[in-house]
Amino acid sequence: MESWIILLVVFVGIPLILVMIYNRLVALKQTCNQAWGDIDVQLKQRHDLVPNLVETVKGYAEHEKGTLEGVIKARQTAIDASSLKDLAEAENLLSGALRQLFALSESYPDLKANQNFLSLQNELADLENKIAAARRFFNNAVQEFNTAVEQFPAVLIANMFGFSAKDYFEVGETERGAPNVKF
C-alpha cells in the first residue's frame, strides 16, 4: 500500500506540481504582456498628440524652430525604438522636449491663453498621468514575474522553457520630479 502512494506521488503529484508552476509562469508572463500593451496604447496616444501640440505652438513661436524640431525628433525616436530600453530612453527624451515646449509657452502670453493649446496641454497632462499609472502596473507585473522566475523550484522550469527575467520600464533622470508647467 505504501509503495502505491509513493508511485502515485511520483507519477501524478510531481508532474501536477510542475504543470501548476509552468501555468503560473505563463499567467505572469501574460500579465506583463498585457501591462505593456496598456503602456503602448498610452504612448501611441501621446505620440499622436504631439504633432497637434507642435502645430499649435508653431503659429506663435516662429523663431523657436530648434525647440519644435527637438520635440518632433524626440517623438520620432520614441516611435522608432525597437527595445524596451531604447523606448524608455526615447520617452524620457520626449518628456524633456515637451517640458521645454511648455516652458517656451511662458514667453508667449497669447499662446498660454489659446484654448486649443490649453486643451492639448490638459490632454497631455492626463496622458502623462495614465502613462505613469500604466508604468507602475507594468513594473509591478515584471517584479512578480521576475520573482517567480527566480524562485525554486520554478527556476528549473523557467530555465527549461526559456522564461527569463524582464526589464523594468525605468524613469529617466529627465522625468524625476514634478513637471514645471505654469499657466
Residue 13 in domain: no
163 three-class SS: coil
C-alpha cell at 89: 530612453
CA dist 181 to 10, 71, 103, Å? 64, 16, 7
Whether residue 137 is predicted with pLDDT greater than 90 in this model: the reply is yes
* Range(s) of the domain holding residue 112: 23-175
Instruction: Give me the CATH number covering residue 103.
Output: 1.20.1440.20
pTM across the whole model: 0.76
Write the DSSP assignment of 61-85 as a string of letters. Answer: -TT-HHHHHHHHHHHHHHHH--SHH
Residue 31 in domain: yes
Contacts of 57 (CB under 8 A, 6+ apart): 64, 68, 101, 104, 105, 111, 117
| pLDDT (tens digit per residue) in 107-135 | 777 777 778 888 888 898 899 999 999 99
